[in-house]
Amino acid sequence: MDIKNHYKDLILTESQIINNQHRDAVGGLWEEIGKLQFEFLVKNGLKPEHSLLDVGCGALRGGIHFINYLYTKNYYGIDINPFLMDAGIKELEKASLLEKKPYLLVNGDFQFDLFNQKFDFALAQSLFTHLPLNHIHRCLINISKVLKEGGKFYATFFETENKFALDGIIQSNEIVTYLDSDPYHYHFSVFTYLIEGLPLTVQYIGDWKHPRNQKMVCFSK
């Protein structure tokens, strides 16, 4: 599959959504990765009264669990792809969760200030894995403006321990990552560089039991 720009250009028809093809479009393992991200944030302090920003929320694989758990109007999802967002709304209808009134925004420029809200928690599950470094930088600059003092932004990434590796790295049975094409790997030190001068600190979390070997990093305000 040519996944360069896959998510931005991904078009799903009504019948594909009815057949749940959006679940494969965000990488499959719908139940497993949905629950994994939810349980991770709860273990790390997410409470129903908190506000959560889900960056690259896709078709709400994790969103369904967060929306169910959080108080009404406390979930904010943003994604570049309107078809995945539509599929997410259908998932919410199926799960009778529309009454929790999540805020959902189609936007590819990380314009989080459009929500007019400050966040206790933010999450980017399998987003940085598809982004070149300058896009991650924009995301972090904008996140630093909307996190509350003490707020946390957890993000997953594919890791390389060798900054200068030019060959693909086998991350799991199915995934090979690259320095300069999607799916991308990064050396942890790039995050330290990207937040220089921003009101953020960064902490390496590493393994969090992701089935495809994505690692976790935490940015705190």
Instruction: Identify the DSSP state of 214.
Output: -
Q: In whole angstroms, how close is the CB of 85 to ligand SAM at the nearest point?
A: 8
Q: For residue 144, state whether it binds ligand SAM (rule: CB under 6 A).
A: no
Q: Is the CB of 127 or the CB of 202 nearer to ligand SAM?
A: 127
Q: What is the DSSP string of 121-144?
A: EEEETTSGGG--HHHHHHHHHHHH
The distance of Cα 39 from the centroid of its chain, to the nearest Å, equals: 15
Q: Is the CB of 79 or the CB of 159 nearer to ligand SAM?
A: 79
Q: Is the CB of 78 or the CB of 147 nearer to ligand SAM?
A: 78
| Binds ligand SAM by CB under 6 A, chosen from 7, 38, 153, 158 | 7
Q: Is the CB of 109 or the CB of 189 nearer to ligand SAM?
A: 109
Residues 98-137 that bind ligand SAM (CB under 6 A): 108, 125-127, 130, 135
Among candidate residues 116, 113, 128, 109, the one with its CA nearest the CA of residue 184: 128
Q: Is the CB of 108 or the CB of 189 nearer to ligand SAM?
A: 108
Q: Which two tokens stand for residue 175?
A: 């995934």
Q: For residue 26, state whether it binds ligand SAM (rule: CB under 6 A).
A: yes
Separation between Cα atoms, residue 184 and residue 133, nearest integer Å: 9
Residues 47-76 that bind ligand SAM (CB under 6 A): 56-58, 61-62
The mark string for 155-194 relative to ligand SAM (x by CB under 6 A, - otherwise) is ----------------------------------------
Number of residues this chain uses to bind ligand SAM (CB under 6 A): 20
Q: What is the DSSP string of 139-200?
A: HHHHHHHHEEEEEEEEEEEEE-S-TT--S-EE-SSS-EEBSSSSSBEE-THHHHHHTTTSS-
Separation between Cα atoms, residue 167 and residue 170, nearest integer Å: 10
| Binds ligand SAM by CB under 6 A, chosen from 81, 160, 171, 214 | 81
Distances, alpha carbon 107 to alpha carbons 42, 115, 155, 180, in Å: 26, 11, 18, 24
* Kind of pairing between the strands at 169-170 and 176-177: antiparallel
Q: Is the CB of 167 or the CB of 218 nearer to ligand SAM?
A: 218
Q: Is the CB of 6 or the CB of 163 nearer to ligand SAM?
A: 6
Q: Which two tokens stand for residue 147?
A: 């996190």
Binding residues (CB under 6 A) for ligand SAM: these are: 7, 26-27, 33, 56-58, 61-62, 78-81, 84, 108, 125-127, 130, 135
